[in-house]
Chains A and B, each alone.
Chain A
Amino acid sequence: MNKLTALELRRTSLRPYRIAALSIFPVMLGLLYLLASLPRWEPYSKDLDVLLDRDGVTGIVCVLCVFAFAMVFAAMAAKCVVEEYSGKRAVLLFSYPVSRRKILGAKLWLVFGYTVLSALTCGGAVLGIFFLTEWVFPLCPGALAAGTVVSVFLRLLWSALLAGVLGLIALWFGFRKKSVTATLTAGVILSLIACQVMSVTVGRPISWLVLLVVAAVPAALCAAGLFREVEKMEV
């Protein structure tokens, strides 16, 4: 971690985001077990076919993970980026004799890194617990295969990165309007769209990687746009 990121971390209170991540954890865990045990309550429903296997139930939890952590990103970015570059706060930021690009870069790293890592930790813990109980006392049909575990964790990785990428695009919208509300609204809309795509393609793991790559292109453009913007900003 470089010096600017460390400074950023020092002056940002991470408490709200930690609380958010800690609240998302039981929700994800509860949902996962609910979905996994659902076929036992409704054994004859055809709609539940997709949920029957471990790929299905963990996939839906990943979808929730994307939504929840894209929102954490948006909230954190609204606070440490949008607000900091709005009005009088920007005067403070620009009165440091440090390249404006570097300061923004440190902020984006912090928000992206923190969100993606919390998504991985939170999702990883949920999936870890689930696989452990599946191993000892399976809810889903069939034996637990090592391949499933690997592929599910890979999907969690795509999902965590996707949450960060979506958050970045939402930040761009919010930054243009210099509005916290706009950031959050863009976050909701973008992640709803992405989650829709993800739930439709839940049976085809590779499609999520494609989605991630496709979303990363506009996200990179958004980041480049933000750097250009702070460079020429007047306060």
Chain B
Amino acid sequence: MEYAISARGLAKSFRGREVIRDCTLEIKRGEVYGFLGENGAGKTTVFKMLLGLLKPSAGEAAVLGLDCVRQSPEILRRTGSLIETPVFYEHLSARENLEIHLAYLEAIGDPEEALELVGLQETGEQPVAEFSLGMRQRLAVARAIVHRPEVLILDEPVNGLDPAGIHRMRELFLHLNREEGITILLSSHILHEVEQTASRIGILTHGRVAAEVDPQEIGKDFPGGMEAYYLQVVGEGGTGHE
């Protein structure tokens, strides 16, 4: 079958230091895939390669069957993304930011609806410069979904949100996945965040996806639950920092 996202033998070095090596990833359409790894494990690096923002040193990757190096514009059109701390046009309102985004994508979308989905409908003409960290994060999600993408790539999307905000986001992701059929790849360095949203979790350590688990099934084979399993995988030979 055609995967929504796939990578084979992916590698990336920065100035001779190999951050990702021989990374393989297969995500089916309709999945919510949690990408778990410590700070510095290389989650952002993998996401940037998928979007064509970084060129792999070796290996290949595809999103929606499109090659990440050669067909990056088409991928960018059909995916929504949030990478690290998102940036905006600070002097413009949330709605204007989304409108400009749509114009660059040459896509049709409903900014009001996207803002409502993330709970930012009340911000009106307020410039983004005045937004709190949580509001910015929600706006970033709105921007990622405004053009109704087929795949969402979200790098630590709930960073900086309060518990209620995290809950709301989780509901939103599940809604987008179930009702709209959007495939979601999201990363986190915090176990509980992915555990409750993802249908499958991949643990990134030492530059590759060392293990994949279904959070619903884990209790059967691993009495200690997800946490014990995660610590065992990550603990095998140190951290991702080298």
A interface, CB within 8 angstroms of B: 3, 7, 10-11, 13, 88-89, 91-92, 94-99, 234-235
Closest-by-CB residue of A relative to B88 is A92
Q: Decide: B105 and A96 in contact? CB cutoff 8 A.
A: yes
For B48, list chain A residues within 8 Å (CB): 91, 235
| Chain B 77-92 per-residue mask, 1 if CB under 8 angstroms from chain A, else 0 | 1000101111111011
A89 to B83, CA, bound (A): 11
Q: Decide: A234 and B53 in contact? CB cutoff 8 A.
A: yes
B190 at the interface (CB under 8 A from A): no
A96 to B143, CA, bound (A): 12
Which residue in A13, A96, A234 is a CB contact (below 8 Å) of B104? A96
Count of B interface residues, CB-CB < 8 Å: 26
Q: Decide: A95 and B55 in contact? CB cutoff 8 A.
A: no
A235 to B49, CA, bound (A): 10
Q: Decide: B73 and A92 in contact? CB cutoff 8 A.
A: no
B100 at the interface (CB under 8 A from A): yes
Q: Decide: A13 and B91 in contact? CB cutoff 8 A.
A: yes
For A11, list chain B residues within 8 Å (CB): 89, 92, 100
A-B pair count, CB < 8 Å, reads: 49
Closest-by-CB residue of A relative to B77 is A97
A77 to B105, CA, bound (A): 24
A92 to B104, CA, bound (A): 11
For A3, list chain B residues within 8 Å (CB): 103
For A235, list chain B residues within 8 Å (CB): 48, 53-54
Taking each of B48, B87, B88, B105, which has the highest tally of chain A beta carbons within 10 Å of its own beta carbon? B87
A234 to B148, CA, bound (A): 27
A10 to B91, CA, bound (A): 11
Closest-by-CB residue of A relative to B51 is A95
B interface, CB within 8 angstroms of A: 48, 51, 53-55, 72-77, 81, 83-89, 91-92, 100, 103-106
A4 to B106, CA, bound (A): 11
A212 to B87, CA, bound (A): 38
For B51, list chain A residues within 8 Å (CB): 95
Q: Decide: B76 and A95 in contact? CB cutoff 8 A.
A: yes
For B89, list chain A residues within 8 Å (CB): 11
Q: Decide: A98 and B73 in contact? CB cutoff 8 A.
A: yes
Q: Decide: B84 and A91 in contact? CB cutoff 8 A.
A: yes
For A92, list chain B residues within 8 Å (CB): 86-88
Closest-by-CB residue of B relative to A3 is B103
Nearest-neighbour CB distance to chain A for B137, whole angstroms, equals: 14
A11 to B51, CA, bound (A): 24
Closest-by-CB residue of B relative to A232 is B55
Which residue in B55, B72, B85, B104 is a CB contact (below 8 Å) of A88? B85
A7 to B103, CA, bound (A): 8
For A95, list chain B residues within 8 Å (CB): 51, 53, 76, 81, 83
Nearest-neighbour CB distance to chain B for A212, whole angstroms, equals: 35
Q: A10-B100, A234-B54 are in contact. Are A96 and B92 (CB under 8 A)?
A: no
Taking each of A13, A91, A234, which has the highest tally of chain B beta carbons within 10 Å of its own beta carbon? A91
Q: Apart from A10-B100, A89-B87, A97-B106, what 13 extra A-B contacts exist at CB < 8 Å?
A: A3-B103, A88-B84, A91-B48, A91-B83, A91-B84, A91-B87, A92-B88, A95-B83, A96-B104, A97-B73, A97-B75, A97-B77, A98-B104
A96 to B51, CA, bound (A): 10
A98 to B86, CA, bound (A): 19
Closest-by-CB residue of B relative to A98 is B104
For B73, list chain A residues within 8 Å (CB): 97-99
A188 to B85, CA, bound (A): 34
A99 to B91, CA, bound (A): 25
Q: A11-B100, A91-B53, A235-B48 are in contact. Are A97 and B76 (CB under 8 A)?
A: yes
A11 to B98, CA, bound (A): 11
Q: A11-B100, A235-B54 are in contact. Are A97 and B105 (CB under 8 A)?
A: yes
Listed by A's residue number, 10 A-B pairs whose Cβ atoms lie within 8 Å are A7-B103, A11-B89, A88-B84, A88-B86, A89-B87, A95-B76, A95-B81, A97-B74, A97-B76, A234-B53
